[in-house]
Every structure is written in C-alpha cells, then in structure tokens.
C-alpha cells in the first residue's frame, strides 16, 4: 500500500515576541461541521499565526534559528465547537478528521469550518519529504516521508526534498481530487563548506539535502538561499544571504570576524545568563537582515560573528525582564553591556472611528534607532501590554488598514499614557519584472514619501511571482517608487523612478541592466 500522510499539524516559523514578554492572548472560537452539515465531534483543530513580515525578517530569522515553533490546538466537543487562545489573530486555522478537512486563512473571531473530502497529492519520483505551506497564510505544514499527502481544498506551495532531488510547486487543490505533481526540472548542485547549513529564504525551517559533505541541492531556476555557519570562537551562528542563479556555482560563506561581549544587569551588576545577542545588517532603506545570533553563558559572555566589520552593522542585546541595548562599535565603546531593568507598561490604541483597535500589532522602536525593541499585540479592548525600561520610545501601530507612522511612547512605570487613535491607511501594490519579462523574485522595492515626513521610507521584497505590496500609507500622497535587484554574480538591475498614489493603480515595472561603473569609479 502507498504510504500516505494526512497533514494534521502546523508549525510557525517565527515568534516575534520579545524575550521574556508574555503575549496578550485572543479568543478564537467556532464550530466544525462535516460535508453534510452535521457537527463534527472529537476533531483536532490547529491554529498557527502568520509571522510578522517586512522589517521583521530580523525576528523571523532569529526565531527560526533558535527553533521556536508555536501552534495552538483544541478538540471539538460533541456539538462540534472549539475554543482557542492565540497570541496573534492572523494565521491559518486547520482541521483534518476521518478523511475530511478544512483550511481557513485569517479566520474571524467566530469561525465556521465546513469539512470536505480531502484531496490527494501524489509526489513525483517516489517517497520524499513534502513541506506544505499555506499560500495565503505563510504557515508551514510539514509532513513525514511519503509518496502522497492528503490535504483539504485550498492554495498551497509544496517543497519536495529527498537525497537525490529538490523541487518547489504552487498549486490549487479542490476537495476530493487526486493530483500527481509533474516531474520537476533537475535540481542544481551548489558547492559549499562542509560545516555550512543551507536553507531557502522562503523555507527557513527546512534544511536542503546534501548529496555530498561539500554540496547541497536546490530547485531549478533562481532562488535566494541562506548560508549559516556555527562559529565556535564566539559561540554563535553566522548568517549570509546569497542569490543562486540559473547555473551551478560555488557558494562560500564569508570569513567570520568575531567579538566577545560581557552582559550585566545595570541594577545589580550581576552577569546575565541567557541574554540574546543579535548582529544585523541595516544598510538598505531601514531593512534588516540577521547576520549572527547567540546567547550569553553563565558568566554573561557571548560573541557574535560578522562577514566583515562595517559601519552599517548594529549589535542588539536583550534579555527577559530587561531592556534592549544597541551596542556601539568596538572603537566607540567597551565590550561590557549593562541592561536596564524593564517595568510593566500599557497603551490603549483606538481605530479611526474611536473604537478599540483589535487584530493590531504594535512595533516598539529603540530610542535613537529604528530597530525593533519589542513587538506586542492589542487585546479585545485595544490595550497593548509591554515590558520596557523607563524612557521614551517610538511606537508604530501595524495593520493593513491603518497609517503606519511613528508615535511617541513615554514609559514611566506609573500612570498609563492617554489612548492613541489610528488614522486610515492605504496601499501600493504591483509586479516587478526582469528585462526578459520573467518575475523579479527577490527584488527590493523602495517607496519614498515626499509629502508626509511622518511616514518613513518603506521597502518590500518581491515574491516568486514578482509581486509586492506596501500597506499603511497616507491617502492622496504622491510617492516615488523604484526597484533594484542584485544577483550573486554581481549583475544588478534597476528600474526608473515613478510617481504613484496609494489605491489608484496597479504598478508594473520592468527592470533594466545597470550601467557598469566608469573606469576609476566604484
């Protein structure tokens, strides 16, 4: 008999809560019915939150490397009802039971799941490990080794990994149908270091197979891969992002430059164990890519590794119950870091109509830096609970329909600040294409607002179809939009700058090859 798995668990790839913070929980209730409309008792319901995107690639990567999956489950009662307490209300709600299943992306607080017969997805080339991602919710469902997978109806992305092949697919499944995936283009072999771990950027929890100690397989076509290397000298992991083109090549992790820090409590002077040390590259339009991650030992010591020391790299240290410190470069300060103690703080956020703002993330920015200190979520009353040292912070409400601009948050440890009211936000979306008309996957789109200084420059990374979307923009603003793509072989593509206005048009830009630099100029 063919080995077949019914996928019944969802793994979240990134947990964006600050260390030591207990996130506010949201109620998610609903009922599950079979295809005849009768309540489905005893079914396991799963919910996984969607990782916070864009700037938060820093925290998504950190959680993925630290191995922090988060999934909530509940069993339906005899009347088919269930109740979940979730940290973030956006994500994927999933149930599989007795050959029936349903998937709901971004469910409402009261959800109804109507189960239908499962579809069967047959894998090409014999048994392999199939990684299934909900295309709408960015949540990964990971199966065991099989040659067929049973799924509910919906849109999915599938990554097949085996010792001799790797392939990626996008597909739409209908209830009860059987689909055999076609044979994929032959995978490409990349030569890498023996101690290097290689993952695809879109699948940070999936390690690509190694056909030999010094090579890995990646799907055909152009993909972005992450190389990570454990650096024993500093006790941390070095991360480097590389673009893999259509031809085979050698990917070599950069040489690691290490630095050792000592982390103490500012209040007691005692060394702090378990403090998180992150090194991030913040070079490109206020976007961040993780370069290194590590934790302090019992003596408060931790190191970080960098591809090369640059002025654009910022080192961030945080610990449960303490604040977050941005460490100056070696020439500007010592290797001792003293973390201030955090206090409890609350801030109520209202929607544009004056009611409580629910389903809302709030990003707290470090004083004097746009780097995130904390990500928190509003409860049903629009209240956000935080743990921060006393001081002044930047605070950005994040919601697709609200204006994403900075506010000032004063943390005193005593009185709650007055409520803040969000303003309506709008979006710009479209596609970026290569000169030959193919999608420009991985291109960075930059949006600059010349009419509203309250809204900072915004960026987005194009998906596999070349699509992008930037939300939370002011209405009636005229903005300059441009795109750029740099491949691993050094070839660069740029677009012209165009003026756009939120909500009025779909943008489509075609990149062109960047002119080579003149002799004597870099």
Give the contacts of 374 (CB within 8 A, at least 6 positions apart).
17, 18, 21, 324, 363, 364, 386, 387, 388
CA 237 to chain centre: 18
Report the pLDDT averaged over residues 146-174. Answer: 87
Q: What integer pLDDT is reported at residue 321 of this predicted model?
A: 85
Say how far apart CA 57 and CA 51 lie, in whole Å: 9
Q: Name which of 63, 58, 67 is nearest 241 in CA terms.
A: 58
Express each pLDDT in 238-261 by its tens digit. Answer: 777 777 765 556 666 666 777 888
Secondary structure element (H or E) that encloses residue 58, with its range: helix 57-66
Report the pLDDT averaged over residues 401-428. Answer: 85
For residue 129, list its beta bridge partners: 145, 161
Say how far apart CA 291 and CA 315 lie, in whole Å: 10
Q: Is 514 helix (H, G, I), strand (E, B) or coil?
A: coil
Q: What integer pLDDT is reported at residue 172 of this predicted model?
A: 86
Express each pLDDT in 335-386 by its tens digit. Answer: 899 999 999 889 999 998 999 987 777 878 777 666 666 677 788 788 988 8
Q: What integer pLDDT is reported at residue 334 of this predicted model?
A: 74
Return mean pLDDT, the chain: 77
Express each pLDDT in 255-314 by its tens digit. Answer: 677 788 899 999 999 999 988 887 776 654 445 566 777 788 889 988 877 766 566 677
Q: Which residue has the higher pLDDT, 62 or 172?
A: 172
Express each pLDDT in 44-101 by its tens digit. Answer: 998 877 654 333 333 333 333 333 346 788 999 999 999 998 766 677 888 989 899 9
Q: Which residue has the higher pLDDT, 420 or 7?
A: 420
- DSSP assignment, residue 250? B
Report the pLDDT averaged over residues 128-142. Answer: 74
Say how far apart CA 494 and CA 105 lie, in whole Å: 35
Angle at 76 between CA 74 and CA 81, to 5 degrees: 110
Beta strands 426-433; 467-473: pairing state = antiparallel
Express each pLDDT in 102-119 by its tens digit. Answer: 988 878 888 999 999 999
Say how far apart CA 463 and CA 436 lie, in whole Å: 17
Express each pLDDT in 470-518 by its tens digit. Answer: 877 877 777 888 998 877 566 788 898 888 887 766 889 999 987 544 3
Say how far apart CA 106 and CA 346 lie, in whole Å: 26
Q: Is 224 helix (H, G, I), strand (E, B) or coil?
A: strand
Is the confidence at residue 232, as pLDDT, over 80? no
How much is the pTM?
0.63
Confidence band (pLDDT; 50, 70, 90) for 32? very high
Report the pLDDT averaged over residues 196-200. Answer: 84
């Amino acid at each position: 008999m063919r080995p077949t798995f019914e996928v019944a668990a969802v793994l979240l790839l990134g947990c964006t809560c600050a260390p030591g913070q207990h996130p506010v929980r949201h109620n998610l209730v609903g009922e599950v019915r079979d295809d005849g409309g009768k309540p489905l008792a005893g079914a396991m319901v799963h919910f996984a939150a969607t990782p916070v995107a864009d700037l938060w690639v820093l925290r998504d990567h950190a959680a993925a490397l630290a191995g922090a999956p988060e999934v909530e489950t509940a069993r339906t009662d005899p009347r088919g009802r269930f109740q979940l307490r979730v940290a973030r209300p956006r994500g994927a709600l999933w149930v599989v039971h007795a050959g029936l299943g349903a998937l709901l992306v971004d469910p409402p607080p009261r959800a109804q799941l109507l189960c239908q017969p499962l579809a069967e997805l047959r894998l090409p080339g014999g048994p392999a490990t199939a990684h299934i991602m909900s295309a709408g919710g960015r949540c990964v469902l990971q199966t065991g080794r099989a040659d067929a997978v049973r799924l509910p109806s919906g849109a999915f992305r599938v990554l097949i990994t085996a010792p001799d092949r790797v392939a990626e697919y996008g597909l739409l499944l209908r209830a009860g149908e059987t689909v055999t995936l076609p044979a994929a283009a032959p995978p490409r072999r990349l030569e890498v270091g023996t101690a290097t771990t290689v993952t695809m950027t879109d699948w940070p929890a999936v390690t690509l197979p190694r056909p030999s100690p010094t090579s890995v397989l990646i799907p055909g076509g152009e993909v972005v891969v992450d190389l990570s290397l454990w650096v024993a000298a500093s006790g941390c992991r070095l991360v480097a992002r590389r673009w893999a083109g259509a031809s085979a090549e050698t990917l070599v992790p950069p040489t690691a430059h290490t630095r050792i820090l000592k982390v103490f409590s500012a209040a007691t002077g005692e060394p702090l164990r378990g403090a998180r040390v992150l090194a991030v590259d913040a070079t490109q339009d206020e976007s961040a890519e993780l370069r290194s991650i590590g934790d302090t030992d019992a003596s408060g010591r931790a190191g970080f590794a960098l591809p090369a020391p640059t002025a654009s790299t910022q080192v961030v240290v945080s610990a449960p119950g303490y604040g977050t410190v941005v460490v100056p470069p070696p020439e500007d300060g010592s290797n001792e870091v003293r973390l201030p103690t955090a206090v409890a703080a609350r801030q109520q956020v209202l929607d544009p109509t004056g009611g409580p703002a629910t389903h809302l993330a709030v990003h707290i920015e470090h004083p004097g830096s746009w780097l995130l200190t904390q990500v928190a979520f509003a409860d049903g009353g629009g209240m956000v609970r935080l743990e921060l040292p006393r001081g002044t912070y930047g605070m950005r409400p994040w919601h697709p329909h609200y204006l994403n601009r900075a506010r000032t948050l004063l943390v005193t440890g005593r009185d709650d600040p007055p409520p803040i009211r969000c303003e309506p936000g709008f979006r710009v979306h479209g596609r970026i294409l290569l000169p030959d008309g193919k999608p420009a996957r991985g291109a960075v789109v930059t949006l600059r607002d010349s009419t509203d200084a309250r809204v900072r420059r915004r960026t987005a990374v194009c998906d596999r179809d070349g699509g992008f979307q930037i939300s939370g923009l002011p209405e009636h603003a005229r903005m300059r939009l441009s795109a750029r793509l740099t491949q691993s072989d050094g070839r660069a593509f740029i677009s012209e700058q165009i003026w756009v206005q939120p909500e009025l048009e779909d943008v489509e830009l075609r990149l062109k090859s960047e002119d080579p630099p003149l002799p004597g100029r870099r």
